[in-house]
Homo-oligomer: A and B are copies of this chain.
Amino acid sequence: MLSPRVWFSVRRGLSRSLSRNVGSRTSGEGRKVDIAGIYPPVTTPFTATAEVDYGKLEENLHKLGTFPFKGFVVQGSNGEFPFLTSSERLEVVSRVRQATPKDKLLLAGSGCESTQATVEMTVSMAQVGADVAMVVTPCYYRGRMSSAALIHHYTKVADLSPIPVVLYSVPANTGLDLPMDAVVTLSQHPNIVGIKDSGGDVTRIGLIVHKTQRQDFQVLAGSAGFLLASYALGAVGGVCALANVLGSQVCQLERLCLTGQWEDAQKLQHRLIEPNTAVTRRFGIPGLKKTMDWFGYYGGPCRAPLQALSPTDEEALHADFTNNGWL
């Protein structure tokens, strides 16, 4: 458990004193942190009574540690962050940090609805060891989340964050695409290093790469389903739920793309689309966790209101893996 002291110090304006550290991951020559690579967005394991199971979390990380990932995303959408208390969110990041070698990058989801809460959470995430803050778009008042509002939000967060910030656009959950003009404007902020885009529109991904080429701005695909296409358009990596179960294969796809073996990449990509859709859009986190159980990880239950899959859904999920030769 995170000590109350840390948590309270965070809440009491620590952000002010920390703001001098802006860009701490920026090297002397002004190059931003390099986030290129593959990341599994780690799930949060729960016990049967819905407590966070830190032991299982470490076991999963240990197994995932055998793949050539660039690092881990913690508290992304797949981490069920909206179901965790603030201190659970921080404790999970803290545990992952402890279980993760320093050469692996830790991207921690620190987005909240209000700008102030996001700033505080970002600062706290940095304190417990996150290397980069991944900040999802606020969305409850999506009708008012204009480019101006979002630019204001992210600028404030990036100004006050002691660690680099990655924008995070995930319309399937938020009902909101971070607008192109906001992305381009924000790419010029010295403490914003990239975007994780989960929308799946590669035309947009290509345009982001194109319009931010003078900035040192990096794009991560938010799903394995369009990973090859994203590489082809200039993305530098991906945050892929599927990497929680097919880590080796997703890393292999990365390697094939980076070494220009596009034909083999295509064949592999094809076989990953259905499994990927199954553990994301189709069956969500319950599907991902069930699959983790099959692949030797601890998946376990989700927190309510997320429900376990029905037997019929489990069968369909299984078929999406067997039909492509993965089970």
Contact partner of A305 (CB less than 8 A), chosen from B77, B152, B273, is B152
Number of A residues contacting the other chain (C-beta, 8 Å)? 64
Asked whether any CB of chain B lies closer than 8 Å to the CB of A18, the reply is no
Q: How far is the CB of A58 from chain B (nearest CB, A)?
A: 23
In this complex, what residue of B is CB-closest to A176? B175
Is the Cβ of A153 less than 8 Å from the Cβ of B305?
Answer: yes
Q: How far is the CB of A32 from chain B (nearest CB, A)?
A: 21
- A113-B225 Cα distance, complex, nearest whole Å: 27
Asked whether any CB of chain B lies closer than 8 Å to the CB of A63, the reply is no
Is the Cβ of A203 less than 8 Å from the Cβ of B225?
Answer: yes
Asked whether any CB of chain B lies closer than 8 Å to the CB of A209, the reply is yes
In this complex, what residue of B is CB-closest to A284? B144
Known A113-B83, A226-B202; contact A269-B233, beta-carbon cutoff 8 A: yes
Is the Cβ of A303 less than 8 Å from the Cβ of B114?
Answer: yes
Asked whether any CB of chain B lies closer than 8 Å to the CB of A126, the reply is no
Known A203-B225, A234-B266; contact A145-B305, beta-carbon cutoff 8 A: yes
Contact partner of A173 (CB less than 8 A), chosen from B142, B200, B225, is B142
- A262-B266 Cα distance, complex, nearest whole Å: 13
Interface centre among A50, A144, A202 (most CB of B within 10 A): A202
Known A83-B113, A114-B303, A229-B232; contact A143-B281, beta-carbon cutoff 8 A: yes
- A277-B210 Cα distance, complex, nearest whole Å: 14
Is the Cβ of A273 less than 8 Å from the Cβ of B173?
Answer: no
- A207-B270 Cα distance, complex, nearest whole Å: 6
11 A-B contacts, Cβ less than 8 Å apart?
A: A83-B113, A85-B117, A114-B304, A115-B304, A143-B281, A144-B284, A152-B304, A202-B229, A203-B229, A232-B266, A234-B266
- 10 closest Cβ pairs, A-B complex: A210-B270, A115-B304, A82-B113, A153-B305, A83-B114, A229-B229, A203-B225, A232-B232, A175-B175, A144-B284
